[in-house]
Structure formats: C-alpha cells, structure tokens
C-alpha cells in the first residue's frame, strides 16, 4: 500500500459528507492488523459525488481522507476524479450550468452559444460549461444545473442560462411519446403515475414476474431466446445468448447490470422509459436476476438524469418495501436486490466494460475483450449487461409469449423499436414503431421537412443517410445491408438551412472530448480528425487532408480498443461520401 505523506485536515463539512457515505476511518490499531477490511473501492465514485454535491469540489484534504478510509491510493483516486466532467478538483463557483451545444440543440432557434453567456446568479458567480448531448434533445435547447452545498440540486432545464438559474422547482414538460403499432414499451408512459406501484400493478405490472416464477428459469431462458430479442444498446447482440451464458456459468457469484448511461448524442428514449415507467425496469431486472441466478443487480444511470434516478430509486424502495425485492422476492424464497449507481459525465462509461470499471471505482476505461462480460464482468464475475430498452422488452415477451412477440417486426428483428427523433422536426419525441417501418414513415410521423438537408441515424457514432434511404426498412438486417446502422435508435433531422459542416465538426469534437485516452488510435486520432475538419471548414485544408482523413478512419476503425474509436470516423465518412462537406472550405 502507498505510504501516506500528511496533508492538511479536511474541513468539518467534508468530514460530515464522508461520515455519511463511507463511514469512519478504520481504527488505526485495526489497520496495523494484516487482515484488511472488505474491498470498498466501489464506494469511491459515490463518495466523490457526495463531496461534489456537498462541497462543490474535491479538495486534496478531502481526497486524502477519503482514500484513507477506503484504502485507495490517492494518485488513483485523483485519476478517477479527473476522468469525469461532473467532478471538479479545483475550487470554483458552487453552481455550474452545463449548456448543451450538441447536434440537436445547436440547430434549435432558441439555442445560444454558451461562450456568450456570462455566469452570474445575482451576486454569485456561476460556471457556464458547454456540454455534450444531455439526453433531452426533445426539450431543446437543453441545460443541466449542478448546484453544490446545503441546497444541493441537479436540474434539467429547457431554455437559457438565466432561465435555468430561475428554474428552481420548475416542472419538466412531459415528453412526446407516440406509438404506431403496439405500445409495448411505451403504453404506460403518461398514462400511469410513475411513482405509484399500485397503478403499475393495475396496468399489468408484476404479472410477468409471476409468470417467470411459475415457469422457472430454464423456461424463461428458452422464451427469451425464442423471442429473438436483440440488444438495443447498439450492438444488437441476442439477449438470450447472453443470459444463457451467465446462467450456465460455473461461478456462483454473478451480476446483472442495466446500462442506463444513455449518452449517445441525439438519444433520449431510455430517459423517457426510466422516468415514465420505472417499475417496469425494476421488474425486468428482477426477472433477469432470478433467471440467470444473480442475487445483486446494478442500474448505472448517467449523472445528468436526476429525475430518472429519483424515480428508479423510489421504485426500488417501494418494491423492496412490498417484498418484491430482497431476501424473498414475491414469496419465492429467492433473493435479489438492486442498487442504483450514478455516472459522472463520461460518454465512454456506456461501453459495458468501462461501465464496470467506473462502478468498481476505477477510471472508466474499456477493458480488452475477450474475455467478455458473460465470463469476466463486474467485479470479475459473470455478468449480464443490458440496455434499458432491451430489459423493458422482457415483461412484454413473458406476457405475450415468444410467438406473440415475433408476430410484430421481422424474423431477424422481432418486436418494436424506440426511436429518439429530434432536431428540425415538428414533433421531437420517442416513437415506438414495429421493426420494418421505413425511415420515411418514421420521419413523416415526427413531422420532418419533406426534403431535409440531412438525417443522422444512430447519433454521433452513426451515419448520415442519403435522401434515397427513406425507403430502407428500419431493421438490423436491412440497415446493415444498406451500410447504415440503427445504433442507439437516434434519428436527428437537419433542415435545408442547417450548416451540416458545423454538425460534422461538432461530432468530431465530441469524440475528441469523450475519448478515454487509453489507446493511441483514438486518443490522438480523434484530435487529428477534428483538426482536419476544422481546417476544411475554415478554408485552410492541406493538400493531403483527404488521404489523412482516410488514414485516420482506417486506424481508428481497425486498431482502436473499443467501439468509441471504431465508430469515431463513421459520421464524418458518411458526410464525406454524401458530399455534405463539399464547399465547406469555400466559406471564409
């Protein structure tokens, strides 16, 4: 263990925060005993959050004290704290407004460049930080207020910085949710009170758990496999295969993890599910845990989703109170419980192995695969990790049966799919449509202009689609055949007046900012790509820049560790192929 040079003492306020999260320091007499306490490193990120919320930053003294209590080396804890955009290691204003300047917000008529905003709340200075997509593209222009201190708060707001500072207690506008076909995933949203377990049950809630318990895990595994459910987090991996692998593991200790880190620019459908139907996720996770033999599950929610977090925590508490979680789930004699973990502003933590590292108290750097999470996952144990939307399909499948599920969608892409449609459309919102609906139909539903300037499918990691692609049926197989991707289901629309070069440049900046920095192709490649696009747009392109962009695409796609690097050149490449950047250099 590191030797510990002394630093000053933490303030009483810092000590109070730490007492409340990690308890007291081990007795010095105890700590001389060889046997160490259980590994509590996974409390690092929650503790850093607590200091950020309570004090406004993480001071050297507080970090040293925290490290002593958790037995984590200071340098490593500092490495963790500096990884995240929502944690600060320098003193500053206690209120910070994060202003989304990402793809959907920056084309909104109400958008104001955060650089133009001075931060003051009355006398008090306020930090104004530009932010990547806040997952509220349907409520553009989006802001997120982070306030520390005794009146600590996290708020999501639409409008301006001044409005955000005045927005204390303002209610969020209900999201637009449209189903064209069975409303399997969205049926309760806006209809059922998301804070009421009774109402959830009255609308079919917890019937699937009962069914699952009656069927037994083996039959549930078969049903999920037969349903053909594929992951909605981007990789479209068959869920049944994942569950089966963990259920069949020789190791007893296993985990189920819900990936609710939704940070792909343009994507907000998981937020709408979490906020609008939280009990459904709790029920789905319970079924997943009991089916694969995990006693503990985690829901990792991005830090910019305070309402979602609050609703899920509340739902978990209610479920536990009613015996639907805990040591005897619904009288089955089986044990399963859930815990919520909060992300801290890092897109990469949505990558499943980076998520594990983040949750365990390490930097959110992806691990090399293989081994895959089903073998070596959270805390080194076999782990099922699924996207929020994927999990929401589980009760649907158990309720209508695999065959009933397959009655909607296509053979390779059964069921319905949620799309987050935003940008220049009259109805930004979440659209639940059967797989196989064409892109054109979806755009029409959402009120897109008849001939948009560009449509981005799959967010920053996705592709711009050509006008001719509106006939493509939205299924995993059809988009693959057309060299496109569904990705996270984001559909961002830009009208003819939008400056697509500006959008492309923002996307390259996104990857530059969000690269974890671990591998060279992505750490340096995303910077060079951004620089080349900036040159192109400012009319100072160099003769070899086309080749340069191709070479960067090659090395990032082929030699990066994870999907972030693999897709970092995707949108740029499609924009170049479609000629969306032509003439960009002509601008002054």
Partner 1 sequence: MSTPVPIPRRKVTVRIDGTERAAAEGSTILDVCRDAGVEVPTICWAPTITPVNACRVCVVELEGSRTLVPACSRRVTEGMEIRTGGDRVRASRRMVLELLASSVDLSRAEADILRWLEEYGTDPERHGPDRARVSEPVRRHDELYVRDYDRCVLCYKCVDACGTEAQYTFAIAVAGRGFDARISTEYDVELPESACVYCGNCIGVCPTGALIFTREFDLRESGGFDPEAQAVTTTVCPYCGVGCNLELHTQDDEIFRVTSPDDHEVTSGHLCIKGRFGFEYAGGRRREGRTEADPATDRDESSSA
Ligand X SMILES: Cc1cc2nc3c(=O)[nH]c(=O)nc-3n(C[C@H](O)[C@H](O)[C@H](O)COP(=O)(O)O)c2cc1C
Which range in 163-171, 253-261, 288-296, 517-525 contacts ligand SF4 by CB under 6 A? 517-525
Q: Is 146 buried (19+), middle (13-18) or exposed (0-12) by CB count in 10 A?
A: buried
Stretch that binds ligand X, among 26-34, 274-282, 345-353, 422-430 (CB under 6 A): 345-353
48 binds ligand FES (CB under 6 A): no
Contact present, 270 and 233 (Cβ < 8 Å): no
Counting beta carbons within 10 angstroms of the beta carbon of residue 170, is it exposed (0 to 12), middle (13 to 18) or buried (19 or more)? Answer: middle
Q: Is residue 523 a contact residue for ligand SF4 (CB under 6 A)?
A: yes
Establish if 514 lies at the interface with partner 1 (CB under 8 A). yes
Return the one option of ligand FES, ligand SF4, ligand X, none that residue 100 interacts with (CB less than 5 to 8 A, by type). Answer: ligand FES
- Structure tokens, 275: 């906020």
Half-sphere exposure of 398 (CA within 13 A, CB side): 28
Residues 550-579 that bind partner 1 (CB under 8 A): 551-552, 554-555, 557-561, 566
Contact flag: residue 67 with ligand SF4 (CB under 6 A): no
Q: Which does 105 bind (CB under 5 to 8 A by kind): ligand FES, partner 1, ligand X, none?
A: ligand FES
- Evaluated on CA atoms 500, 502, 503, 504, the torsion sign reads positive
User: Site residues for ligand FES, window 69-108 (CB under 6 A)?
Assistant: 100, 102-105
Does residue 453 touch ligand X according to CB under 6 A? Answer: no
352 binds ligand X (CB under 6 A): yes
Helix axes 12-22, 60-70, angle to 10 degrees: 30
401 binds, among partner 1, ligand SF4, ligand FES, none (CB under 5 to 8 A by kind): none
- Cα(185)–Cα(431) distance, rounded to whole angstroms? 10
φ/ψ (deg, to 5) at 518: -75, -45
Q: Hey, which residues does 144 pair with through a beta bridge?
A: 98, 156
The 8 Å CB, 24+ separation contacts for 154-163 are 154/303, 154/304, 154/306, 155/306, 156/304, 156/305, 156/306, 156/307, 159/110, 160/110, 160/112, 160/117, 161/97, 161/99, 161/112, 161/114, 161/117, 161/119, 161/126, 161/128
Interface with ligand FES in residues 103-142 (CB under 6 A): 103-105, 133-137, 140, 142
Q: Smallest gap, in angstroms, from Cβ of residue 291 to ligand SF4?
A: 31
- Among positions 381-420, residues that touch ligand X (CB under 6 A) are 385-387, 390
| Residues forming a β-bridge with 260 | 301
- Choosing among ligand X, partner 1, ligand FES, none, which partner's interface includes residue 262 (Cβ < 5 to 8 Å by kind)? ligand X
> Rounded to the nearest whole angstrom, what is the least distance from the CB of residue 195 to ligand X in the complex?
24
Which residue of 213, 324, 562, 575 would you call a contact of ligand X, by CB under 6 A? 562
Residues that bind partner 1 (CB under 8 A): 1-5, 60, 63-64, 73-79, 82-83, 89, 346, 363, 368, 512-521, 523-528, 531, 535, 542, 544, 548, 551-552, 554-555, 557-561, 566
């Amino acid at each position: 263990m590191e030797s510990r040079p002394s630093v000053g003492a933490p303030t009483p306020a810092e000590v109070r925060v730490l007492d409340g999260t990690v308890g007291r320091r081990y007795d010095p007499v105890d700590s001389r005993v060889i046997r160490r306490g259980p590994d509590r490193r996974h409390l690092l990120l929650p503790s850093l959050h607590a200091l950020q919320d309570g004090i406004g930053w993480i001071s050297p003294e507080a970090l040293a004290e925290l490290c002593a209590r958790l037995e984590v080396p200071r340098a490593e804890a500092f490495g963790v704290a500096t990884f995240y955009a929502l944690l600060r290691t320098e003193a500053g204003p206690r209120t910070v407004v994060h202003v989304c300047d990402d793809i959907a917000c920056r084309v909104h008529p109400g958008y104001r460049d955060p650089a133009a905003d001075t931060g003051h709340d009355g006398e008090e200075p306020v930090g104004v930080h530009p932010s990547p997509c806040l997952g509220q593209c349907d409520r553009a222009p989006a802001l997120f207020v982070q306030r520390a201190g005794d009146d600590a708060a996290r708020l999501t707001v639409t409008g301006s910085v001044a409005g955000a500072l005045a927005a204390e207690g303002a209610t969020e506008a209900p999201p637009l949710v449209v189903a064209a076909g069975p409303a399997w995933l969205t049926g309760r949203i806006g209809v059922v009170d998301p804070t009421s377990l009774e109402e959830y049950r009255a609308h079919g809630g917890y019937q699937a758990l009962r069914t699952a318990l009656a069927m037994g895990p083996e039959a549930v595994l078969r049903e999920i496999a037969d349903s053909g459910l594929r992951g909605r987090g981007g990789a479209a991996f068959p869920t049944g295969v994942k569950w089966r692998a963990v259920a069949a593991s020789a190791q007893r200790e296993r985990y189920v993890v819900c990936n609710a880190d939704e940070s792909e620019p343009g994507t907000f459908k998981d937020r709408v599910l979490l906020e609008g139907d939280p009990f459904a996720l709790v029920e789905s996770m319970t079924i997943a845990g009991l089916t694969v033999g995990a006693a503990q599950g985690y829901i990792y929610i991005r830090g910019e989703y305070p309402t979602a977090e609050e609703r899920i925590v509340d739902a978990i508490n209610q479920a536990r109170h009613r015996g639907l979680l805990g040591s005897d789930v619904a009288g089955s004699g089986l044990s399963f419980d859930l815990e919520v973990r909060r992300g801290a502003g890092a897109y990469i933590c949505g990558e499943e192995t980076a998520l594990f590292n983040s949750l365990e108290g390490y930097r959110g750097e992806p691990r090399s695969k293989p081994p895959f999470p089903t073998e070596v996952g959270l805390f080194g144990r076999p782990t099922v990790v699924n996207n929020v939307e994927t999990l929401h399909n589980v009760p649907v499948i158990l309720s209508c049966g695999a065959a009933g599920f397959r009655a909607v969608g296509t053979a390779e892409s059964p069921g319905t799919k949620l799309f987050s449609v935003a940008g220049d459309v009259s109805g930004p919102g979440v659209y639940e449509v059967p797989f196989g609906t064409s892109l054109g139909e979806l755009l029409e539903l959402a009120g897109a202009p008849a001939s948009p300037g560009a449509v981005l499918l799959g967010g920053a990691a996705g592709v711009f689609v050509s006008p001719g692609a509106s006939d493509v049926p939205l299924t995993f197989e059809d988009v693959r055949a057309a060299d496109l991707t569904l990705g996270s289901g984001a559909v961002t629309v830009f009208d003819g007046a939008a400056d697509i070069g500006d959008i492309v440049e923002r996307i390259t900046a996104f990857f530059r900012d969000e690269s974890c920095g671990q591998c060279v192709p992505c750490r340096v490649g995303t910077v060079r790509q951004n620089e080349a696009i900036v040159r192109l747009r400012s009319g100072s392109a160099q003769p070899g820049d086309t080749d340069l962009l191709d070479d960067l695409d090659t090395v990032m796609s082929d030699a990066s560790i994870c999907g972030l690097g693999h897709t970092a050149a995707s949108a740029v490449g499609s924009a170049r192929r479609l000629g969306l950047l032509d003439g960009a250099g002509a601008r002054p």
